Amino acid sequence: MSTEKTQSQIFADEIIPSLFHNSPGQFLQFLHRDGNKFLSFYWKLAGEQCTPELKRDSFGLNYYFREPASRILITMILLPEPIFDGETYFSALIYRPDRRILFVADTTKIFNLEKYSSPDNPSGTRMVEWTRRKVREIIRGGPAPYQEEFYRAVIEQIREN
């Protein structure tokens, strides 16, 4: 694959982190109001930013919410099945509105489960975090690409932080 980003990568690595980290309350409000239209709009916008051969339809794009504890909301975004390494299976958008550490707000976190093929990586995935500064940090090899396994790995990550 070239160094050019696919529609899926632009959506999961640039658009969603920017929207969510910058304004989580508004992002969630739009998602609650008309989530599929909201996500589809930004999926199409991502498609306008890549070459035609790296575009694809949004089949499989969906979302749901989980609240593992009081005042912790996890929005799980399901993306179209990845084709290339570096594309995302699932994104977990964590919103903890009460979380502040000294003078720093730590209210949002984003974890993605990416397709990553390597001989020493049996699951074929890796977990990455998109920080508030839009920096991609590789956490480790990820779980198998199943929603529940990813969700458990996300819960483990937020317990550690």
Condensed to tens digits (0 to 9), the pLDDT of residues 128-149 reads: 999 988 899 999 889 999 999 9
**pLDDT at residue 104 in the model:** 60
**pLDDT, mean over the chain:** 92
Tell me the percentage of the chain whose pLDDT exceeds 70: 94
Length reported for the chain: 161
Rg of the chain taking only CA atoms, in angstroms: 15
Look at residue 97 in the predicted model and tell me its pLDDT: 86
User: How far lies 69's CA from each of 23, 127, 135, in Å?
Assistant: 22, 22, 27
Which pLDDT score, from 0 to 100, does residue 1 have?
A: 41
DSSP state of 122: T
Q: Compute the average pLDDT of residues 108-113.
A: 96
* 48-90 tens-digit pLDDT: 999 999 999 999 999 999 999 998 999 999 999 999 999 999 9
Phi first, then psi, for residue 90 (nearest 5°) are: -140, 150
Reported pTM:
0.92
Residue 155's nearest CA partner among 94, 80, 82 is 94
**pLDDT band for position 95 (50/70/90)?**
very high
Output the pLDDT for position 101: 64
Domain chopping of the chain, boundaries: 7-160
Q: What is the pLDDT of residues 33-50, one digit of tens each?
A: 999 999 999 999 999 999
Among the listed residues 3, 23, 159, 17, the one whose alpha carbon sits nearest the alpha carbon of residue 88 = 17
105 — pLDDT class (breaks 50, 70, 90): low
